[in-house]
Amino acid sequence: MKVAKEPPKDALNGIKVADFSWILAGPLVTKCLADHGAMVVRIESGKRPCAHRAVAPFKDRKPGLNRAGYFAFYNANKLSFQMNIDHPRAKEVLRELIMWADVVVENFSPGTMDKKGMGYEELRKIKKDIIMLRTSNQGQTGPFAKHAALGMQLVALSGLSQLIGWPDGDPLQTTMVWTDFVVPQFGVAAIMAALDYRDKTGNGQILDLSQFEASLHFLAPPILDYVVNQNESMRMGNRCPCAAPHGAYRCEGEERWCVIAVFTDDEWEGLCKAMGYPPWTTHDKFSTLLARKENEDELDQLIEAWTINLSPEEVMSRLQAEGVAAGVVKNGQDIYEDPQLRQGNHLWPLEHKEMGMLTHMGQPFTMSETPARPRSPAPLLGEHTEYVCRQLLGISEENFSDLRSDGVFE
């Protein structure tokens, strides 16, 4: 007799998170936890909703707090608990929420939670083993901890802006808030380590995650170059000191490009073969890496004269067949239709209550026994307020109605 195999539980099944974060850096931390099965209650206010509920793109270009693409994308699998935490009676509910939670996440300016009576020491009085992740621009302490900044300023502070652009041009910004996407992996790792520590000792702890410091982990080469050689790295455009050609080359079609990188003589031979060995490839000025670097402007023009007559997909296919690193510069449509993403479990359709069917991204790694997945769409503002109070926190119907009448859940 065969016994039916129970479906695998999620890796973080049973972990409970009170999410006070907003914008992106904090919500991406809790999104990863939620995708792996943690129950995440996102505390929101109708008086001051998360900025990502109020910024484009909106579904069908119709604005609304429940129609924002950013919020929907980064808050799937969470519960929305609407509450004005500044209300005089809010602490009655917050105390129950902290007692319920294993982890608290916040990304306000340093001191904000303390001013509201919700600093780590206050939370510990409620629940000794609580874990609190605080992620802010430059950490909770230090001379610049309270400097105002968003992702753009942190990109500049990290030194990345100094490296983006052309040698004769100004420093440039990334088009996205780069640091907000760097920080979450450190936040998740810190929480997992703290949960392990709690399981072994019975103690919680506070986690102070500096977004500025996290960003530096991805800029080790220029930092090391200065420490070792006192050399200041500067903007190089698409160039690389140890490769030629190395850049993005225009292809057939409007705004269609393919990147090509050649580091070795074998790769150079592969590029020449893919192009059909045009006569210029035999010139001495292109015979070695050093020679190609010295004549890189001309080399780029000659290569683009070949790529301009081919689709970027064809350029990539021909070069990859010869062992040359090449990739299509993809746009949104390319990514959405990408067969590599479609064949796995990375793109998931979920039905949103107001926006209809939306595609969500899964986590970038898979776990054979406890696969992560988006299970529910991003919540409507305050959608789960009563459920959280009545079912999770055990607040009586009478008390809930009284609190609601008093305006706590606004």
Question: pLDDT, tens digit, for every residue of 40-73?
Answer: 999 999 999 999 999 999 999 999 999 999 999 9
Q: Are 151 and 51 in contact (CB under 8 A)?
A: no
Write down the pLDDT at residue 151.
78
Output 88 or 175, whichever has higher pLDDT: 88
Q: What is the residue-averaged pLDDT of the chain?
A: 95
Lowest mean pLDDT among 144-153, 232-241, 245-254: 144-153
Whole-Å CA distances, 306 to 155, 274, 291, 313, 330: 36, 10, 20, 14, 20
Closest C-alpha to 154, from 125, 177, 184, 187: 177
Q: Are 281 and 262 in contact (CB under 8 A)?
A: no
Q: Is the pTM of this model over 0.75?
A: yes
d(CA 135, CA 183): 8
Write down the pLDDT at residue 325.
98
Specify the DSSP element, H or E, that contains 40. strand 39-44
How is the chain split into domains, by residue range? 16-218+345-405, 246-250+256-330
Active site residues: 180
Q: What is the pLDDT of residues 246-288, one digit of tens each?
A: 999 999 999 999 999 999 999 999 999 999 999 999 999 999 9
Write down the pLDDT at residue 34.
98
Closest C-alpha to 297, from 251, 237, 257: 237
Write down the pLDDT at residue 124.
97
Above pLDDT 70, what percent of the chain? 98
> Cα 348–354–357 angle (5° rounding)?
25
- pLDDT of 7 above 70: no
- pLDDT of 376 above 60: yes
246-250+256-330: which CATH architecture? 2-Layer Sandwich (3.30)
The dotted CATH code for 16-218+345-405 is: 3.40.50.10540
Write down the pLDDT at residue 1.
42
Average pLDDT over residues 233-249: 96
Write down the pLDDT at residue 6.
63
Residue 22 has, within 13 A of its CA and on its CB side, a CA count of 13
Closest C-alpha to 185, from 321, 363, 1, 372: 363
- pLDDT of 8 above 70: no
- pLDDT of 4 above 80: no
Whole-Å CA distances, 143 to 66, 134, 138, 179: 39, 18, 9, 21
**What are the backbone dihedrals phi and psi of residue 258, each rounded to the nearest 5 degrees, phi first?**
-140, 135
Average pLDDT over residues 230-257: 96
Per-residue pLDDT band for 5 (boundaries 50, 70, 90) equals low
Q: What is the pLDDT of residues 385-394, one digit of tens each?
A: 999 999 999 9
Write out the two tokens for 399.
């008390």
Q: What is the pLDDT of residues 319-339, one digit of tens each?
A: 999 999 999 999 999 999 999
Q: What is the pLDDT of residues 287-318, one digit of tens each?
A: 999 999 999 999 999 999 999 999 999 999 99
Lowest mean pLDDT among 114-118, 168-172, 340-344, 346-350: 340-344
